[in-house]
Amino acid sequence: MKKSLINKAVRHLKARDKILSELIINKGPCQIKTSLDNPFHALANSIISQQISARAARAIKGRLFDLIGTDRMEPEKILKLSPKNWRAIGLSRPKSKYIRGLALAVRKGDLDFPSIQNSEDEIVIEKLTAFSGIGRWTAEMFLIFGLGRPDVLSTNDAGLRKGFKILYDLQELPSAEEMISIGDPWRPYRSVASWYLWRVVD
């Protein structure tokens, strides 16, 4: 995500939400890192992170990067890994199967990233969730970290729900409707707001 866009988003968020503004000031510059030049990496990264803590995901990715000799996941490197390799890095069998399946889809042309990069968010989600192992959450993370889309609010994200509860002093975890309502003033920069909400939980 371009620095100029992030700066514009931060100004908007600080002006529209006093509580979020205090968090932004406390946490400093937003550092959303995108993989525009390697969308496969971003998508595989999201699959690894499914339903596990950020710390566990970082550990698995660290072992994977050591194994392949680079911190960039690419289809051909993934396809060279054996089941024994996957077990060694601690990734579950279903997730390794999903990532390998995506690598094969890219090789065969069934998953063509350039063809979806300019599609609207919901179209991207629809196309990606047609592949095994990719649900809405994974597709939403890809929109943020793979395509740098600025206005994504993932209401199924456990960390984000906790962030809402803590920051807005809610009695319980918010529903999707409550998250959308609280986050409505953030449009069209809800991805940047989400990054700050994740920092509350971290």
pTM of the shown model: 0.91
| pLDDT number for residue 104 | 97
Confidence band for 202, pLDDT divided at 50, 70 and 90? confident
* Average pLDDT rounded to a whole number, residues 1-18: 95
* Average pLDDT rounded to a whole number, residues 121-148: 95
Query: Which residues touch 149 (CB under 8 Å, ≥6 apart)?
Result: 121, 143, 191
State pLDDT tens for residues 172-187. 999 999 999 999 999 9
State pLDDT tens for residues 97-110. 999 999 999 999 99
Confidence band for 1, pLDDT divided at 50, 70 and 90? confident
State pLDDT tens for residues 19-78. 999 999 999 999 998 888 899 999 999 999 998 888 999 999 999 999 999 999 999 999
| pLDDT number for residue 5 | 94
Confidence band for 156, pLDDT divided at 50, 70 and 90? very high
| pLDDT number for residue 120 | 96
Confidence band for 83, pLDDT divided at 50, 70 and 90? very high
* Average pLDDT rounded to a whole number, residues 155-172: 96
Domains of the chain: 3-32+152-201 (1.10.1670.40), 39-145 (1.10.340.30)
**Unique residue bearing structure tokens 């998508």:** 43
- In the chain, % of residues over pLDDT 90: 91
Please provide the DSSP assignment of the chain as one string. Answer: --HHHHHHHHHHHHHH-HHHHHHHHHH-S------TT-HHHHHHHHHHTTTS-HHHHHHHHHHHHHHHTSS---HHHHHT--HHHHHHHT--HHHHHHHHHHHHHHHHTSS-HHHHTTS-HHHHHHHHTTSTT--HHHHHHHHHHTT--S----TT-HHHHHHHHHHTT-SSPPPHHHHHHHHGGGTT-HHHHHHHHHHHH-
